[in-house]
């Protein structure tokens, strides 16, 4: 009644038959169900995906332009760029050092969600592991609604589903979310516990790519720890080249 559609029509929508549903109906449904921004976006993406059109298999972006790397290198705080399936495509030296356990994976590009679900080190690295795992699956679910025919994304979801029971459980929950800012609590193998503020910023010139930047309040223990990490980076001569880096003995 609140949506302004018949019971039969609503049942058809709820069963996944969104083909032909108008934007006004979907918008009314989103308001009635009190969907948040991510859930509303997911609903509209599902409707677009169900349209009887020729689906193009759009592949995930896997490279960045040199000027993007130059921006990263100009920052004195950890930063990196990822694509929509959570591959880290570029990072500055501090970003590589901060995510050293992730970059230990010999495969390139490294993937933060693969690390979270398939690498035992993730449970020590992420101090809020359960929340990180929930967020990662929900972000991938949102992307799957936006680009359901991306072969790279399909491959990643298949890999995680076959190798991680936890991922299968989180994926089945069908949660979706944006992850644009917040607090990231890490246990770094060199400098210990870190409480980092992060901002995720879409790059208008690079559709589908997001830059993550990590900071800490001046004078905080985490800010002091980042200074120690920067000294270690300098001593190890860590670069932004996407190759495995040395770890302390």
pLDDT tens readout for residues 74-109:
999 999 999 999 999 999 999 999 999 999 999 999
Cis peptide before 109 (omega within 30 of 0): yes
Residue whose C-alpha is closest to residue 85's, from 150, 141, 140: 140
Percent of the chain's residues with pLDDT above 70: 92
- Is the pLDDT at 242 greater than 80, yes or no? no
Measured CA to CA, the distance from residue 9 to residue 18 in angstroms comes to 10
24 vs 19: which has the higher pLDDT = 24
Query: Is residue 166 within 8 Å of 132, Cβ to Cβ?
Result: no
- Listed range (49-58, 71-80, 173-182) with the worst mean pLDDT: 49-58
Q: How far is CA 96 from CA 72, 125, 142, 191, 213, in A?
A: 11, 14, 26, 14, 12
pLDDT tens readout for residues 180-225:
899 999 999 999 999 999 999 999 888 889 999 999 999 999 999 9
Confidence of residue 52 (pLDDT cuts 50, 70, 90): low
Confidence of residue 249 (pLDDT cuts 50, 70, 90): very low
Give the phi and the psi of residue 219 in degrees, each rounded to 5. 85, -5
pLDDT tens readout for residues 215-225:
999 999 999 99
Q: How far is CA 93 from CA 21, 230, 233, in A?
A: 48, 9, 7
240 vs 182: which has the higher pLDDT = 182
For position 56, what pLDDT does the model report? Answer: 59
The residues, ordered by sequence, that sit 6+ positions from 154 with a Cβ below 8 Å of its Cβ are: none
Domains of the chain, each with CATH number or no CATH = 7-49 (no CATH), 66-236 (3.30.450.180)
């Amino acid at each position: 009644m609140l949506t302004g559609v018949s019971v039969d029509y609503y049942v058809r929508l709820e069963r996944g038959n969104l083909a032909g549903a108008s934007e006004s109906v979907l918008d009314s449904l989103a308001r009635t169900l009190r969907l948040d921004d991510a859930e509303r976006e997911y609903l509209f993406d599902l409707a677009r995906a169900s349209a009887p059109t020729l689906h193009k298999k759009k592949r995930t972006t896997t490279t960045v332009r040199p000027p993007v790397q130059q921006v990263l290198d100009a920052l004195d705080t950890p930063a990196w760029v990822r694509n929509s399936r959570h591959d880290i495509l570029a990072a500055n030296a501090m970003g590589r050092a901060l995510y050293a356990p992730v970059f230990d994976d010999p495969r390139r590009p490294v993937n933060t969600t693969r690390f979270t679900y398939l690498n035992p080190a993730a449970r020590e690295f992420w101090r809020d592991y359960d929340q990180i795992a929930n967020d990662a699956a929900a972000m991938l679910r949102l992307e799957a609604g936006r680009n359901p025919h991306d072969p790279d994304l399909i491959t990643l979801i298949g890999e995680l589903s076959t190798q991680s029971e936890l991922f299968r459980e989180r994926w089945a929950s069908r949660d979706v979310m944006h992850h644009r800012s917040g607090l990231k609590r890490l246990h770094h193998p060199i400098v210990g516990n870190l409480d980092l503020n992060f901002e995720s910023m879409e790059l208008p010139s690079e559709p589908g790519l997001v830059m993550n930047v990590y900071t800490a309040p001046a004078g905080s223990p985490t800010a002091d720890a980042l200074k120690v990490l920067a000294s270690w980076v300098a001593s190890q001569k860590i670069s932004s080249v996407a190759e495995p880096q040395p770890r302390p003995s």
